[in-house]
Amino acid sequence: MTYVVGYSPHKDDTCALELACELARSEADAVHALTVVPQGWEATTASQHDKDFVHWARTEGEASAAEAFAALERHPDVAGSASWVTARSVPAALVDQARKLEASILVVGSGLHGPVGRVTVTSKTDRLLHSSEIPVAIAPREYRPSRESRITRVTLAFRDDDATWRLLDRVADICRRTNARIRLVTVTIKHRAMLQAGVSGAEDLVFEELSRAARAGQREAVDHLVENGFAGSELETVVAKGRSWADALDGVHWTSGDLLVVGSSSTHPLATVFLGSSAAKIVRAAVVPVIVVP
Amino acid sequence: MASLTGSQPSLGEQLRRRKPIVFQHHHHTGEELARELSTFELMMFGVGATIGTGIFFVLGEAVPKAGPAVLVSFLIAGIAAGLSALCYAELASAIPVSGSTYSYAYHAMGELVAVVIAGCVLLEYGVATGAVAVGWSGYFNELLSELFGWQLPEALSVSPIPGTDGEPTGGLINLPAVVLVLLCMLLLIRGASESAKVNAIMVVIKLVVLTIFAVLGFSAFNADHFSNFFGEGFTGVSAAAGTIFFSFIGLDAVATAGEEVKNPQKAVPRAIIGALTIVSGMYLAVAAAGLAAKPVSFFEDSDNAEAGLALILKDITGNEIWSTILAAGAVISIFSVTLVTLYGQTRILFAIGRDGMIPRKFLEVNPKTMTPVFNTVVVSIVVALIGGFVPSDYLWDTVSIGTLMAFSVVAIGIMILRRTHPDLERPFKIPGYPVTPILTVAVCLYIMWGLAAITWIIFLSWIALVLLVYFLYGRHHATLNTYRDPEEIAEPRGRRGDVEEDVDL
């Protein structure tokens, strides 16, 4: 299995490559950096300017692949390779190549317009999330783990529904392979009460019940994991509470070696990644690498 | 407190047992404590919660009962509402639990009284939401007709059940009312909430359109309309007060929001009296303007009942602009009232569910939307059926009787608590004890006594049904039957200490 990295030249941020190497190191897998350059026209024009363009694209692709390969060589413990392709659409090419290479995860970086250290979903990544059949990992901007860094803890955004329960087993598999700990985080939001309704503490009631259900769901998940051979002491649970998603997630503690896994929409009928509203909010607030699983 | 040991209590003990007041003492580090309302904002909540559909509608119901003396009925209803709100404020401050009158009754007067009050409160909120939706439908249709010269046919805008006059209505379903309730349901499921800012905007819209009405109404002043002032006698006055009381409901919101204010002892009565003054002043102005412009016989005609204020404006100005503005203001502001009342109903049912009186299904909070979806859907369907099929004549009085009963119990409750728990911390104490609560009970009973027999029949049948459900289900599933640890039944309260674990708010 391979990690395919979408590598773009001139971006001056190798966060995606760094994340891929960290993941590969944890699972002893290979990393393949892929650059997508624009495709020329199929018909030639009289002036042959299009050939100049194709030539330029090829030069760009080769330079970029070389650059990516050089970056990968800084990680001697990871089997790295790099290549380039031409295509009209970057996300489509990534999905296509990932299928050909039988990749297990597609790794991309964050946009340059977002803050450093945060995950920002670019328009290309957004398109990728809509069409990828395999998990997509997104590195925070300028993500720089240390050379030997491995994934030590996988945090699953856990919501007690069928979709996240299916995800739980997949995460358990990954953690078993990589020897990482599992942490379950459930976000609970306290809505604003309508004070003019004449019911005191109306949202306290609902919030209390929501938190109770969240804790019960997590307990059930922990029992399930323990049954499947995990030591109870290696499992962490957190109920993140707040008035907004950002507020709730601010209270969750993160360290290096952390990885956040979120499921895509639980309602979408297609088995493709399609970010649900909750998942999108979690991803936007993330300060560690995120894997979005379809 | 009643004994709450492990063994099953006898029926008598169970009916009398009170839910203990358990304070949760956790450290609170969150920013929630920072949330402080000013007296003015609290007053605006009171005004916003009180001026609802009632005044847009109630003249058509109340004027035929009392004649011009309806002005006196407004005063009586206002006094009853003000006194009740003050009593409510003391109870809400003494028992800092989540919920409404029902929860306070459970703590102060035991399970049986709590169940009866639960019935009253469910009737109050559920039927009020239905009634408000019916009122909205009338103004919505009026607005359609004024803007586009077209309105929904009678079959789709009027309930099929004949009103109190017994005449067939020609309607099948009140579709706008049903659609409105279902729209509010979707908003509530998504977790929508009306903020203080939106509340203030709604208050302004209501006050502006009512002021327009009062000013224009007085411009057509005819002193003859006030002749034979007490023509209907005091029976008529008290009957009308019962109907009008409906339009004062909501003043108690000041009491429940009072915990969010800095100095409740000063702020709560000021906010209640301030809100009451604004609301009563507005209502009296509107009623007097209506009477000044139109004779009593105008209000007796049932054709003029729907969107009544807009019709009066159209008649006296001969111009559709003012009535269009009024109808538009009513459509916008009544929409927000429906949302808020429907919300209140779901949360009260939630509080009842936490005590185990109704199936746990009502407590399920959807993990995606983080709102009680099942509860909201069931409540909305019932309310939509009420709004779609029951004419408003029956609804207003039913709401009034439920609320008056609940308020009487509140007033009795504070007298009981003062005796049984004299040391209880009361951030707000009513002035003039024990005269105020006794007067409250007296005024409430006086108004209830004036209500029609049919209202009493509907009310008592409903309470009987609630008691039946209690004896068949609630009695066996009450949370108090099984609890061991006081924390299990402790109420979550934002102010006195939020439940804190894992991650702070």
What does the pLDDT look like over B10-59, one tens digit per residue? 888 888 888 877 654 443 333 344 457 788 888 988 898 888 777 888 88
Q: Whose CA is closest to B327, among B139, B469, B151?
A: B139
- The ipTM estimated for the assembled molecules is 0.82
pLDDT value of residue B157: 83
Mean pLDDT of chain B: 84
Partner residue opposite B100 with nearest CB, options A194, A198, A217: A198
* Residue A209 Cα, gap to closest chain B Cα (Å): 7
Kindly list the residues from chain A whose CB atom is less than 8 angstroms away from the CB atom of residue B502. 237-241
Kindly list the residues from chain B whose CB atom is less than 8 angstroms away from the CB atom of residue A276. 368
pLDDT value of residue B471: 94
The answer to whether B370 contacts A252, with C-beta atoms less than 8 Å apart, is no
Q: Could you tell me how many residues make up chain A?
A: 294
**Best of A205, A238, A267, A282 to mutate (most B CBs within 10 Å, chain B):** A205
pLDDT value of residue B23: 54
Contact map slice: B 232-251 vs A, CB within 8 A = 250
Contact map slice: A 160-189 vs B, CB within 8 A = 160-161, 186, 188-189
- Quick: pLDDT tens for B252-265: 888 888 777 878 88
The answer to whether B504 contacts A241, with C-beta atoms less than 8 Å apart, is yes
Kindly list the residues from chain B whose CB atom is less than 8 angstroms away from the CB atom of residue A265. none
The answer to whether A201 contacts B492, with C-beta atoms less than 8 Å apart, is yes
Q: Whose CA is closest to A236, among A175, A145, A161, A189?
A: A175
* Residue A194 Cα, gap to closest chain B Cα (Å): 6
**Best of B22, B259, B365, B491 to mutate (most A CBs within 10 Å, chain A):** B365
CA atoms of A11 and A124, how far apart (whole Å): 14
Q: Could you tell me how many residues make up chain B?
A: 505
Q: Which residue of B has its CA nearest to A190?
A: B370
Q: What average pLDDT does range B456-477 have in this prediction?
A: 94
**Residue pairs spanning A and B at CB distance below 8 A:** 146
The answer to whether B505 contacts A189, with C-beta atoms less than 8 Å apart, is no
- Quick: pLDDT tens for B284-323: 999 999 999 888 888 887 776 666 788 888 888 888 888 8
CA atoms of A193 and A243, how far apart (whole Å): 11
Would you write out chain A's pLDDT as a tens digit for each of its 294 residues? 788 999 887 777 889 988 999 988 888 788 999 999 888 776 666 677 778 888 888 899 999 999 899 989 888 888 889 989 988 889 999 999 999 989 989 999 998 888 888 888 888 888 888 888 888 999 999 898 888 888 899 999 898 888 888 889 888 988 888 888 999 999 998 888 888 888 888 888 899 899 999 999 999 999 999 998 888 888 999 999 988 888 888 888 998 889 999 887 654 444 444 456 777 788 888 889 999 888
| Helix, strand, coil % in chain A, rounded to nearest 5 | 40, 20, 35
Q: How many CB atoms lie within 10 A of CB A214?
A: 27
**H/E stretch holding A17:** helix A15-27
Q: Is A36 helix (H, G, I), strand (E, B) or coil?
A: strand
Q: What's the DSSP call for residue A135? A: -
CA atoms of B233 and A194, how far apart (whole Å): 41
- Quick: pLDDT tens for B367-399: 888 899 999 999 999 999 999 998 877 888 888
CB burial readout A254-267, b (16+ within 10 A) else e: eeebbbbbbbbbbe
Contact map slice: A 61-120 vs B, CB within 8 A = none
CA atoms of A12 and B325, how far apart (whole Å): 60
pLDDT value of residue A274: 47
Residue with tokens 């504070």: B414
Kindly list the residues from chain A whose CB atom is less than 8 angstroms away from the CB atom of residue B503. 238-242, 248, 251-252
Q: What are the angstrom distances between the C-alpha of A3 and each of A6, A89, A149, B112?
A: 10, 20, 17, 66
According to DSSP, the residues that pair with B261 across neighbouring strands are B37
- Quick: pLDDT tens for B119-128: 999 998 999 9
Cβ atoms of B195 and B45 within 8 Å: the answer is no
pLDDT value of residue A24: 87
**Strand locations in chain A (E):** 2-6, 30-38, 80-87, 103-108, 136-138, 153-157, 181-189, 235-242, 258-263, 290-293
Kindly list the residues from chain B whose CB atom is less than 8 angstroms away from the CB atom of residue A282. none
Q: Which two tokens stand for residue B437?
A: 């609560």
CA atoms of A168 and A156, how far apart (whole Å): 8
Partner residue opposite A198 with nearest CB, options B253, B372, B501: B253
User: Is B498 in the A-facing interface, judged by CB distances under 8 Å?
Assistant: yes
Cβ atoms of A164 and A263 within 8 Å: the answer is yes
The answer to whether A200 contacts B256, with C-beta atoms less than 8 Å apart, is yes
Split at pLDDT 50, 70, 90, the class of B464 is very high
The answer to whether A278 contacts B368, with C-beta atoms less than 8 Å apart, is yes
Partner residue opposite A201 with nearest CB, options B253, B370, B494: B494
Q: Which two tokens stand for residue A210?
A: 């929501």
Q: What region does A114 belong to: left with phi over 0, alpha with psi -120 to 50, or beta?
A: beta
pLDDT more than 90, % of chain B? 35
Q: What are the angstrom distances between the C-alpha of B234 and each of A100, B440, B453?
A: 90, 19, 17
| CA angle B185–B187–B189, rounded 5-degree value | 70
Q: What's the DSSP call for residue B35? A: -
pLDDT value of residue B467: 96
CA atoms of B367 and A15, how far apart (whole Å): 33
Is there a cis peptide before residue B359, judged by omega within 30 degrees of 0? no
| DSSP per position, B11-24 | HHHHHH--------
What's B152-184 look like in SS3? CCHHHHCCCCCCCCCCCCCCCCEHHHHHHHHHH
pLDDT more than 70, % of chain B? 89
Kindly list the residues from chain B whose CB atom is less than 8 angstroms away from the CB atom of residue A190. 505
* Residue B82 Cα, gap to closest chain A Cα (Å): 15
Kindly list the residues from chain A whose CB atom is less than 8 angstroms away from the CB atom of residue B196. 195
The answer to whether B49 contacts A202, with C-beta atoms less than 8 Å apart, is no
B248 pLDDT more than 80: yes
Kindly list the residues from chain A whose CB atom is less than 8 angstroms away from the CB atom of residue B22. none
Q: How many CB atoms lie within 10 A of CB A232?
A: 9
- A58 burial type by CB count under 10 A (0-12 exposed, 13-18 middle, 19+ buried): middle
Partner residue opposite A198 with nearest CB, options B252, B260, B371: B252
CA atoms of B277 and A132, how far apart (whole Å): 63
User: Is A152 in the B-facing interface, judged by CB distances under 8 Å?
Assistant: no
Cβ atoms of B89 and B255 within 8 Å: the answer is yes
Q: How many CB atoms lie within 10 A of CB B41?
A: 19
Q: What's the DSSP call for residue B229? A: T
Q: What is the gyration radius of the CA atoms in chain A, in angstroms?
A: 21
Q: What are the angstrom distances between the C-alpha of B140 and each of B149, B179, B331?
A: 13, 12, 6
Contact map slice: A 219-278 vs B, CB within 8 A = 237-243, 247-248, 251-252, 266, 276, 278
The answer to whether A238 contacts B348, with C-beta atoms less than 8 Å apart, is no
Cβ atoms of B151 and B157 within 8 Å: the answer is yes
CA atoms of B47 and A22, how far apart (whole Å): 60
* Residue A162 Cα, gap to closest chain B Cα (Å): 12
Q: Whose CA is closest to A277, among A167, A169, A189?
A: A189
| Helix, strand, coil % in chain B, rounded to nearest 5 | 70, 0, 25
Q: Which residue of A has its CA nearest to B202?
A: A196
Contact map slice: B 371-400 vs A, CB within 8 A = 371-372
